[in-house]
Amino acid sequence: VTLAAAQAKSEADVLSEFRATLRGPDPDGGPPAELNQWATGGAPCDGNATSWPRVRRCVDGRVVVLQLEGLRLQGAAPDLALLAPLRSLRSLSLSNNSLAGAFPDVSPLPALRFLFLWQNRLAGEIPDGAFAALRGLQRVDLSGNEFSGPIPSSIASSARLLSVNLANNNFSGPVPEGLRRLGANVQLQGNKFLCGDMVGTPCPPAPPSSSSASSSGGMKVLITIAIVVIAVGAVLAVAGVIAAVRARCNEPCYSGGIETLGDSPDAAKVKVTSAPAVKIEKGGTDQHGGATPAAGKRGGRRDDHGKLVFIQEGRARFGLEDLLRASAEVLGSGNFGASYKATLLDGPALVVKRFKDMNGAGREDFSEHMRRLGLLVHPNLLPVIAYLYKKEEKLLVTDYMANGSLAHALHGGTRSSLPPLDWPKRLKIIKGVARGLAHLYEELPMLMVPHGHLKSSNVLLDATCEPLLSDYALAPVVTPQHAAQVMVAYKSPECAAQGGRPGRKSDVWSLGILILEVLTGKFPANYLRRGHADTDLAGWVNSVVREEWTGEVFDKDMRGTRSGEGEMVKLLQVGLGCCEPDVHRRWGLEEALARIEELRERDTGADDSSTASSFLSDGEAAASRPAGEQQSHSA
Ligand SMILES: Nc1ncnc2c1ncn2[C@@H]1O[C@H](COP(=O)(O)OP(=O)(O)OP(=O)(O)O)[C@@H](O)[C@H]1O
């Protein structure tokens, strides 16, 4: 069976499951008859051709366009998370049906370019961040529904957006500024309560807040004086910081200029003349400031000499000068170098990571690789915003994630701002990690180890505990010796052997260790240091599992989880399947992802009324274990 055939088969299963959730017009409430073929097996795609109804386009054996229009679908919008395994799906239409209820969660389909839901009976407010995950969205049509409330601002967040049709709904309030750039490609007619110059109705002035309305004249004067005093203080403080930084920067410094590396072939060919010396002191704020001449072209070529090169479209630009003015804080010192949090004066908090000994690629190859990373768009990948190339070291700039890393959440105790992670959160994190990893495999097929450095401190958590992978795809710019020393996937069993080399499954091994870490709450490195040097985390888990099923293996912080123990056991199996030392018997990423996607917060058929339990007793767990499981664990 070829890989393409295996993928096609699994896409068939995905569509078949999705079909089962659809309600057509038939009185029995079953799926529309037109889709019956989806349930009879076969493959939706044969190469680039398709014979399945409503699968309109395939590429390389994968579904790209799904058009479920005019099927008289009833009931609530279907759960689009079921389509998440269709990794190549770019266009989805559920238009011209009778779907009712709320706007469906589209975040499980981050790669979607075209979304059509026109002419249904969908209603209610759309969450403001509903489209935030769809960073490559090009066209969206929600016209002819009953949506109300404000237009979600995230609808304009994709830099690739070409057209938006929201006509004939009940949207109200100001039209998001971000839609202005689309000009005539925004349809807003038939929404009586929208306002702003895009619809020709002025918005009412914001009502005065109750406190200011009630405050006395004397109070107003006091507030004004306080604001003036704070503002003057802030200006003096900023001036002081800049003066101090400049005074200390007595060597040639990074320039404050910025350059954008576009998508054009030329953009990757950055030519540099001389490299200025760089002074970066250990600890505290980097001392590398001081504006030097602005960016420009030399000899008709782009010059990224000592400047930040931006690789993300649609991001606000800033220079090293701005980073210098930012308040900075050391986040930690990793294997590559230190990371700093820098909060721009009037902008977001960023992370600047210094990479030393990253000499696996020359400047042009480095720039080309960064350009490729800049094209990656996925809700579970922390985007690299900008980089700076110096011979001696490189800087990568990313967003700062206020909830910190998964390592911190799991092992930081009271130092973590998060409460202990419960099972649903841990499952959500593992799903996101696996999806992010799968996206890297898909988008970077030329890399043997698409991530290479997957570990819990490189999994960052956003405000909703959605995980974002960081420090990925660095192998091409690191020397093999350095990779073997510091990168996690290069410590997998196949690499540890004399003359061993990483393979396509080395990242899967890291995923397995991460899963076991999440389930057991044990920190893999610490575990070894605590006197178990003969084994690793996977070996320990395996030995406990071989002897007898026991709740001991699971992190006690998950106690109180209702009815999810069977699902935890299934995830443990996935972890062990990924941690199989024999690389030939180790699971592939596709299999791991498919099994992870199947997992639910609660066991199937679990009794909701069951009391909060601790973990299964040995007897209960053994009874719930699928036959033959014990053998697979001992493999
Ligand atoms: N974007 C970010 N937002 C919030 N915290 C971050 C961010 N990037 C890194 N961190 C945290 O800063 C600390 C230092 O990170 P750094 O990447 O330098 O080291 P590391 O992950 O421990 O090791 P390595 O260099 O091997 O990746 C870690 O605790 C990491 O989780």
Cβ contacts of 208 within 8 Å, gap of 6 or more: none
ipTM: 0.98
Q: How far is the C-alpha of 90 from the C-alpha of 110, rounded, in Å?
A: 9
Place of tokens 């006509």: 167
Q: Ligand 1: which of 286, 336, 339, 396 to mutate, judged by most atoms within 8 Å of the beta carbon?
A: 339
Each residue of 435-465: pLDDT tens digit? 999 999 988 888 889 999 999 999 999 989 9
pLDDT for the residue numbered 47: 79
Q: What is the CA radius of gyration of the chain?
A: 27
Distance 391 CA to ligand 1 centre (A): 22
Each residue of 561-570: pLDDT tens digit? 667 888 998 9
Average pLDDT over residues 99-121: 94
pLDDT for the residue numbered 519: 93
**Which has more confidence, 261 or 80?**
80
Angle at 534 between CA 533 and CA 538, to 5 degrees: 95
Question: Which of 20-34, 291-305, 443-457, 526-540 has the least mean pLDDT?
Answer: 291-305
Q: How far is the C-alpha of 153 from the C-alpha of 176, rounded, in Å?
A: 6
Place of tokens 């202990």: 420
Question: Which of 29-33, 173-177, 546-550, 619-623 has the least mean pLDDT?
Answer: 619-623
Res. 353: pLDDT tops 50? yes
Q: How far is the C-alpha of 63 from the C-alpha of 55, rounded, in Å?
A: 7
Look at residue 81 and give its three-state secondary structure: helix
Count Cα neighbours of 307 within 13 Å in the Cβ-side half-sphere: 27
pLDDT for the residue numbered 566: 84
Q: How far is the C-alpha of 167 from the C-alpha of 241, rounded, in Å?
A: 51
Residue 156 in contact with residue 132, Cβ under 8 Å? Answer: no
Helix, strand, coil content of the chain in percent (nearest 5):
35, 15, 50
**Which has more confidence, 525 or 148?**
148
CA distances from 536 to 457, 492, 527 (A): 18, 11, 7
Angle at 496 between CA 495 and CA 497, to 5 degrees: 95
Question: Whose C-alpha lies nearest to ligand 1, atom 16?
Answer: 334
Q: State the average pLDDT for the chain.
A: 76
Question: Whose C-alpha lies nearest to ligand 1, atom 12?
Answer: 331
Confidence of residue 507 (pLDDT cuts 50, 70, 90): very high
Distance 353 CA to ligand 1 centre (A): 8
Question: Whose C-alpha lies nearest to ligand 1, atom 17?
Answer: 334
Question: Which of 61-65, 303-307, 372-376, 469-473 has the least mean pLDDT?
Answer: 303-307
Confidence of residue 549 (pLDDT cuts 50, 70, 90): low
Give the DSSP per-residue string, 347-390: S-EEEEEEEES--SS-HHHHHHHHHHHHT---TTBPPP-EEEE-
Confidence of residue 381 (pLDDT cuts 50, 70, 90): very high
Burial class (CB in 10 A: 0-12, 13-18, 19+), 231: exposed
Each residue of 234-255: pLDDT tens digit? 444 444 433 333 333 332 223 3
Average pLDDT over residues 81-102: 93
Q: How far is the C-alpha of 537 from the C-alpha of 539, rounded, in Å?
A: 5
pLDDT for the residue numbered 373: 92
Other residues' Cβ atoms within 10 Å of the Cβ of residue 186: 22
Question: Whose C-alpha lies nearest to ligand 1, atom 26?
Answer: 335
User: Percentage of the chain surpassing pLDDT 70?
Assistant: 74
pLDDT for the residue numbered 563: 74
Q: Ligand 1: which of 331, 380, 482 to mutate, judged by most atoms within 8 Å of the beta carbon?
A: 331
Angle at 305 between CA 301 and CA 311, to 5 degrees: 80
Res. 575: pLDDT tops 90? yes
Q: Where do runs of H (alpha helix) occur along 150-280?
A: 210-214, 217-248
Distance 461 CA to ligand 1 centre (A): 12
pLDDT for the residue numbered 462: 93
Res. 469: pLDDT tops 60? yes
Q: How far is the C-alpha of 266 from the C-alpha of 263, rounded, in Å?
A: 8
Q: Which atom of ligand 1 is nearest to the CA of 487?
A: 26
Give, for 509, the enclosing helix (H) or strand (E): helix 506-520
Q: Which atom of ligand 1 is nearest to the CA of 336?
A: 25
Confidence of residue 605 (pLDDT cuts 50, 70, 90): low
Res. 613: pLDDT tops 80? no
User: Percentage of the chain surpassing pLDDT 90?
Assistant: 39
pLDDT for the residue numbered 409: 94
Res. 89: pLDDT tops 50? yes
Q: Ligand 1: which of 340, 353, 405, 411 to mutate, judged by most atoms within 8 Å of the beta carbon?
A: 405
Q: Which atom of ligand 1 is nearest to the CA of 398?
A: 1
Confidence of residue 336 (pLDDT cuts 50, 70, 90): confident
Average pLDDT over residues 527-536: 48
Res. 215: pLDDT tops 80? no
Question: Which of 10-19, 149-158, 510-519, 542-551 has the least mean pLDDT?
Answer: 542-551
**Which residue ranges have their beta carbon within 6 Å of ligand 1?**
331-332, 334-336, 339, 351, 353, 398, 400-401, 404-405, 408, 453, 457-458, 460, 470-471
Confidence of residue 552 (pLDDT cuts 50, 70, 90): confident
- Exposure class string for 338-369: b at 16+ Cβ within 10 A, else e: bbbbbbeeeeeebbbbbbebbbbbebeebbbb
Distance 467 CA to ligand 1 centre (A): 14
Could you say which DSSP state residue 443 is in? H
pLDDT for the residue numbered 306: 72
pLDDT for the residue numbered 627: 28
Confidence of residue 419 (pLDDT cuts 50, 70, 90): confident
Question: Whose C-alpha lies nearest to ligand 1, atom 13?
Answer: 332
**Which has more confidence, 606 or 274?**
606
Look at residue 146 and give its three-state secondary structure: strand
Distance 599 CA to ligand 1 centre (A): 29
